[in-house]
Structure 1
Amino acid sequence: MTYQETINYLYQQLPVFHRIGKKAFKANLDNTLTICNHLGNPQEKFKSIHIAGTNGKGSTSHFLAAILQSAGYKTGLYTSPHLKSFTERIRINGQPIPEEEVISYVADNQVFLEDLKPSFFEMSVGMAFEYFAKQQVDIAVIEVGLGGRLDSTNVINPELSVITNISFDHTDILGDTLPQIAGEKAGIIKKNTPVVISEFQEETKDVFIRKAQEEKAKIYFAEDDFEIKSYKNKGTFLELEISNRKTDSIKSFVSQLTGSYQLKNILGVLKSVEILNEQGFNISEEAVYQGIEKVVSITGLKGRWQVLSEKPLMICDTAHNLSGITEILSSITKVKYKQLWMILGFVSDKDIDGILALLPKEANYVFCQANVPRALEAKLLQEKGESHALKGEVIEEVNKAIAFVKAKCSEDDLIYVGGSTFVVADIDEL
């Protein structure tokens, strides 16, 4: 099979969460353990960092991977979902897994996979672990797909666990209270393995403390040791000053990932680096600065407050739940513009009414839908928008929506494109 034939085969054979949702989620680790055993347990052959959270886990994963790579470590990175190509999910030193490796993995294990019938995600976790082991990475940064406790990635024994923001998402699977959701995320906390909590939240702190005590794991809340003193967006960069409470010092950083929501992520990253160095890693201050400043260039990350054009200013972001959109709106308030245009599409299993209630009434809206089965119909989204006094056009395909807005707006306007990872993935200019 060619690469495209291989990907088509996997989509046809295996349930894919981003296409069909909850039905693709396997509520146990049995298949993943079976796959790993079949492959010779590759997850035991490299060091790792495990990262969970509702929002921020992707950015945090890329920050840490960029820093480790800048420090000279051969660094694996596993994330999901992908935006343009499946190969984005599995990287070493910023380079996606070669298509030939994907083809050979499926060919070598086709009979086994057809017999086991794992999910698409379970299959891809096995592929990533085998590739990292075969390429002898020094360390791999592993992002949880969904939840933590029952996520397929939760078969590793990492050097460090990191948990970012906890907010409402996938409540039909993870629970409908913050403590319940935190309990699922806390499932990545392992025996005698330190865990960093990037964002302190009163509602969830006891869940993490209790789980850490059970596992005899040292727990660190990043905000106990680090504090943002000042920050400002400057063009396509974020400039910030951070104080270290323990050393009573203030250091300046420049981040290639912008948006105010990155502030919480960066505190967790700095605390994680501190712990890794205590464990024997050799990560210099220069590597930290470089990894944060050049994170997008080093890792190839897309879709995080990404500037697609300057005049008019057009930004896309993969934020897709209530908490993420709230942070996006906060970032938008810090941008100067004449008129705001929002091109939005959502998947149908989100708290769409909750999100629409937050959106500015004075913006111009274009409602679209991503090219995935879970996408909410654009016409239905328009109707929901109207019930929240949001007026706008329906243009289903996102690139046609972008062309429509560009033809009508002025160069001093701001265009925001988002609402779903899959809307962003469909953007031609990405």
Structure 2
Amino acid sequence: MSALLADLGQPQDAYPVFHVAGTNGKGSTVATLDALLRGSGLRVGRYTSPHLVDFSERIVIDGVPMSHAAITEWLTRWEPRLTELGATFFEATTAMALSYFAAAGVDVAIVEVGLGGRLDATNVVSPLAAGVTQIGFDHMEFLGETLEAIATEKAGIFKPVTVAVVGDTQPAIREFLRARAVGAGATPVLVTGEDWQVRDVVVDALGTSFTLASGGTERRLTTPLVGHFQAHNTAVALAMLRGAGGRWADIEANAATLLPGVHLAGRFHLAAPWLFDVAHNADGAATVVANLVAVGLPHPITAVVCVLRDKDWRGILTAVARAAEKIVVTMAPTAPANRTWDLLEVESWARTQGLPILRIDDFTSALAHARAEAATVLVTGSFHTVGDAMERLQVHPLAR
């Protein structure tokens, strides 16, 4: 990455950056930062992964994806060097995003970690603030088998003399992350439960309201994002702005008027009777279920689910069964062939657990069956599952 960015003229240094890592909640935190910064009149680049329907969703300026022509032009120009360096797909994509933002003259960029943090391709940035959201079990084959091991990788984005924000609500992991931030020489280190407190959270179909106490003051805030943890994710974004100081802290002070602009595709994304909500681990699925219960969407609920085989699909299905009268397990068309789950194994295991499972291999047929009999259809599991459903149902991820 360093060699490639040197060839590109160090684009990552052309604008200030907010850097976000975490197992769950980093997408919501990025979306919140994006809305707050754009709402303040700034030209904002946003780099996220993976995409739902179209690759260009990953690289966005002021809500507008990078054009296919610009993507092709960049790749055509730099493909020989990418090949020479042996750059991976994600390394090439990250370099493309950083250089695109520089060429477009963005005022600020928000960069989401792809995997882990310490060794992630995005960790070439020198951010104004680095935030770590909730830590959970995911990608254990790369990040480690314990929460502490996973947290060590996430905390790799903390840097000397740079704002560090710790957003994990689990006391032991929160203290672990704080120690990592201090050990990295980050300053200041802002920690949930100390530098800010979230309480009195109310979730409904219109979003999430909560009281945020920080700096000796209290505010009642509302985010359009649905879910108890969205209050904590919002607070992480605000802490990153506050910690950065100056004009960034001024933006944080205006959060109440700017938060209505927050939008995150594929997260409790309601286009009745369809509800699209990515859940790539058991914690994420539990959150989906909690949100369904809190909002009170009409029953019967049928869930259409496809999970990649290297994920905790048993934990995901167990969680989904707490809210859905029926679960249709299927195969998302864009799921990578080397990571597709075994539907026969899934069906067999689910029946031994007494889960209300119906196997329909064909994805389009699974969607049609669910729609025919349910008042609410939850589409969940991998990004591939949610994205493929949105594409077939013509629900644009970036549409408001």
Q: TM-score, normalised by structure 1?
A: 0.85
Contact 2:303 2:320 in 1 (8 A): no
Q: Does 1:84 align with 2:47?
A: no
Which ranges of structure 2 fall in alignment gaps of 5 or more residues? 396-400
Q: 1:350 aligns with which of 302, 311, 314?
A: 311
Corresponding residue for 2:291?
Answer: 331
Corresponding residue for 2:330?
Answer: 368
The residue type equivalent to 1:209 in the other structure is: R
Shift of 1:170: 0.3
Contact 2:303 2:370 in 1 (8 A): no
Q: Tell me which moved more, 158-167 or 205-214.
A: 205-214
Q: 1:305 aligns with which of 264, 268, 271?
A: 268
Corresponding residue for 2:274?
Answer: 314
Q: Tell me which moved more, 341-350 or 267-276.
A: 267-276
Q: Tell me which moved more, 175-184 or 357-366.
A: 357-366
Distance in 2 (CA, whole Å) between partners of 1:256 and 1:250 is 16
Shift of 1:364: 0.8
Corresponding residue for 1:197?
Answer: 166
Shift of 1:282: 6.0
Which aligned pairs between 1:11-410 and structure 2 lie closer than 5 A? 32-217=1-186, 218-235=188-205, 237-253=206-222, 255-276=223-244, 278-281=245-248, 283-284=250-251, 287-296=254-263, 301-309=264-272, 313-336=273-296, 337-360=298-321, 363-371=325-333, 372=335, 373=337, 374-409=339-374
The residue type equivalent to 2:386 in the other structure is: V
Distance in 1 (CA, whole Å) between partners of 2:257 and 2:367 is 34
Q: What percentage of aligned pairs have identical amino acids?
A: 30
The residue type equivalent to 1:323 in the other structure is: D
Shift of 1:44: 1.5
Corresponding residue for 1:426?
Answer: 388
The residue type equivalent to 2:346 in the other structure is: L
Q: How many residue pairs are counted as aligned between the two chains?
A: 386
Shift of 1:290: 4.3
Corresponding residue for 2:398?
Answer: none
Task: Find the residue that maps to 1:153 and give its secondary structure.
Answer: helix
Change (3 A) 1:285 1:80: closer
- For the aligned residue pairs, the C-alpha RMSD in angstroms reads 1.9
Shift of 1:43: 1.0
Shift of 1:243: 3.2
The residue type equivalent to 2:75 in the other structure is: V
Task: Find the residue that maps to 1:347 and give its secondary structure.
Answer: coil
Distance in 2 (CA, whole Å) between partners of 1:75 and 1:227 is 28
Distance in 2 (CA, whole Å) between partners of 1:394 and 1:290 is 46
Which ranges of structure 1 fall in alignment gaps of 5 or more residues? 1-31
Change (3 A) 1:285 1:154: closer
The residue type equivalent to 2:233 in the other structure is: N
Q: Tell me which moved more, 416-425 or 374-383.
A: 374-383
The residue type equivalent to 1:265 in the other structure is: N
The residue type equivalent to 1:399 in the other structure is: T
Shift of 1:287: 4.9
The residue type equivalent to 1:315 in the other structure is: L
